[in-house]
Structure 1
């Protein structure tokens, strides 16, 4: 199935590495005007270089998704430059360098920081793009959660599992609120993928036996890739998914 996003404007958060980079490059390759943002300028520079290398340049912007004003500015810039906003991919998130610890050792700041990026950031961007999408009577919002939001986190990080579950709840609520305007809101829940320095450290921490157990617990007996996640996102963004909303798609190789 060949997907074409020519003439569409796409915003991708968390685009400096991993899933966000793969998603940004995929949309750019398929014709979209992509605005890729992150708080990591070096990673954004590399994403831009890779886009140039494949012959489909994109726009990179340093944006903190927890900064509502900065989020609003990016949405306004993208709409003013292209005349429309078609797709939002809320990918920014993660564990922010935290590791699993006993419940009683978690500080208020540790708990809240993960929620701010994973939940507040998705809310801020959805809020920022909704007016343009409503005017167009069409839009696609895709949130990237995690298998941790549907079950138990491999990391043992309480805030991460809770935040991803909250993001799934936000997905379903917005799907019902925005559906009458032709806007779909869906969620991709990746399984474990070696996609960035954090997941690479996690993978190495398992050791050879732990790695084998993880892979054997996957129906397809292999790990996925960032491109697998990008493909699921593009499906939700496509015309083929026009009557699908409020759904969570697990992209995890089968559990």
Structure 2
């Protein structure tokens, strides 16, 4: 189960109604049986399609209290030398990790401002705070940009009662891409990575979902502009 799916399940368990938006319609099928969940498939990396999907969600749910931008990842890429990176690969990672968050926030924040309350949580990464273990230049750059967007929106939207925070996961085996990255490290590098984590284990998707649920709750109403590292204490 991926991080996005775990977040949907965590929010449902907390009593929320959830509109799940993803480019992969088939990948969302396993969420169809959950109570109070609607599914909306389309590309969030482009302004027009992101706005259209958000409008669908609002139409089905009446209004949106919070936005969690979990779209992202490495888009099937692996670490390569700087001189080998084509423009399309660079832009694909930015579209998924930064553009999607921007366009969804642009679509949904105005109604939150009108109500005077709302929650936005971006899913960044430890790669947004330092260099990325993946070695992918665009991924590290995009996650740094996403944290910057989080801080900027927190300042802009705070006076309207909207909190904007980011959760920065450590290494979580959440999908085939992260599993492939982990296997590529080999036993020695894997042992080194785990040895640098205070809790001596990799993350679970539920670890991330729990942090997101907290930031969406009333308990976090005076927390904004923050990046919460959920990484087991990565040195």
TM-score tier after normalising by the smaller chain length: over 0.9
**1:1-255 alignment, distance < 5 Å:** 17-49=1-33, 51=34, 56-255=35-234
- Distance in structure 2 (CA, Å) of the matches to 1:151 and 1:173: 19
RMSD of Structure 2 on Structure 1 (CA): 1.2
SS in 1 for 2:45: coil
Displacement of 1:141 after TM fit?
Answer: 0.3
Quote the Cα distance in structure 2 between the aligned partners of 1:63 and 1:180: 32
User: Any unmatched runs of 5+ in structure 2?
Assistant: none
How far did 1:150 drift? 0.2
Offset of 1:78 from its aligned partner?
2.4
Question: Residues 86-116 of structure 1: CA distance to partner in whole angstroms, max 9, x if unpaired?
Answer: 1100000011011111111111111111111
Which position in structure 2 is the counterpart of 1:4? none
- CA distance in 1: counterparts of 2:61 and 2:37, whole angstroms: 13
Partner SS state of residue 159, structure 1: helix
d(CA) in 2 for partners of 1:96, 1:79:
28
Distance 1:83 1:135 in 2: 14
TM-score normalised according to structure 2 size: 0.96
Partner of 2:32, secondary structure, is helix
Contact 2:46 2:95 in 1 (8 A): no
> 1:8 is matched with which residue?
none
Q: Secondary structure at the match of 1:140?
A: strand
Normalised to the residue count of structure 1, the TM-score between the two structures is 0.89
* Contact 1:48–1:57, Cα closer than 8 Å, also in 2: no
Is the contact made by 1:94 and 1:114 (CA closer than 8 Å) also made in structure 2? yes
Q: What is the alpha-carbon distance in structure 2 between the residues aligned to residue 81 and residue 167 of structure 1?
A: 28
RCO comparison, higher one (Cα < 8 Å, 6+): 2
Deviations 1:178-204 (A, max 9, x none): 001100000000000111000111111
Runs of 4 or more above 4 Å deviation:
none
Gaps of 5+ in 1: 1-16
Count of residue pairs the alignment pairs up: 234
3-state SS of paired residue (2:27): helix
